[in-house]
Structure 1
Amino acid sequence: MEQNLDAIFSALSDPTRRAIVARLSRGAATVAELADPFDLAQPTISKHLKVLEEAGLIATRRQAQSRPRELCPIALKGIADWLEDYRHFWRESFDRLDAYIEKTGGNEK
């Protein structure tokens, strides 16, 4: 799991790949459709897609002559599960901050 998280976070470290994932969250798309909003050649987009696919974030399916890419939500669930541990930490931190503000009346500098 840890190694897969490393690959996922590495893949998502690039803004173009994050934009591709965001686009695929709305449905499957071909390489041409994914390349359209970027000022990048299709081979460059294909390299980004390969990184995302190797990380398990997207999959390619065959549909007649095209090969649309689609999002693999199970990989995103892995990230959400990992982040859940930290959500508890932040919740406790905010609760302590709320208690401190209430105790001081918010007048501390």
Structure 2
Amino acid sequence: MTDHTNVRNPFYSTWEIFAEAVGLYNFFFEKEIGLLNSADGVSPFTKAHQEVIHAACSAYVEEYPFVFSIKAPDSLMEEDFHFERLRWLKFWTDWALTNCDTPIFLNEP
């Protein structure tokens, strides 16, 4: 349904589980500044946001170094949905900051 797009339609519980697993819980859910908590569902997306996502990617790969590594033993070559969501988030936020005049994060109900 949303393959190869910058749209995702997970339940809030899925976002919450993902955000907790990759260290982005406050980034999305903090009451005052979380990207999923804006009153109108639209938040400006900045270089500072990008840096937080990049740091989360680095930390996740450091914690789980065999994520999709060809050097991983077969027992570790499992699909990691948190990593895939994080990779998707990094790609599209990088793309938005490179290609959009006014990048935003949109949370549609």
Higher helix share: 1
- Kindly name which structure, 1 or 2, has the bigger radius of gyration based on alpha carbons: 1
Structure with greater contact order relative to length (CA < 8 Å, sep ≥ 6): 2
Please, what TM-score do these two structures have when normalized by structure 1? 0.30
Please, what TM-score do these two structures have when normalized by structure 2? 0.30
